[in-house]
Amino acid sequence: MASAGAAGRPKAVIDTSKGRIVIELYQDKAPKTVANFVKLATQGFYNGIIFHRVIPDFMVQTGDPTGTGRGGPGYTFADEFSPDLHHDGPGVVSMANAGPNTNGSQFFITLAPTPWLDGKHTVFGRVLEGQSVVDQIVAMPRNAQDRPLTDVKMTQVTIQE
Please name the residues in contact with 11: beta carbons below 8 A apart, sequence gap of 6 or more: 5, 22, 23, 24, 25, 128, 159, 160
Question: Is-catalytic flag, 81?
Answer: no
Which of 27, 108, 124, 126 is an active site residue? 108
Which of 9, 27, 36, 53 is an active site residue? 53
Which of 9, 52, 87, 121 is an active site residue? 121
Which of 58, 81, 86, 136 is an active site residue? 58
Which of 9, 37, 52, 61 is an active site residue? 61
Question: Is-catalytic flag, 128?
Answer: no
Question: Is-catalytic flag, 58?
Answer: yes
Question: Is-catalytic flag, 131?
Answer: no
Q: Would you give the distance in Å from CA 1 to the centre of its chain?
A: 16
| Nearest residue to 5 via CA among 119, 159, 134 | 159
Question: Is-catalytic flag, 108?
Answer: yes
Question: Is-catalytic flag, 53?
Answer: yes
**Helix-strand-coil percent breakdown of the chain, rounded to 5?**
15, 30, 55
Which of 85, 111, 117, 128 is an active site residue? 117
Question: Is-catalytic flag, 52?
Answer: no
Q: Annotated catalytic sites, by residue?
A: 53, 58, 61, 97, 108, 117, 121
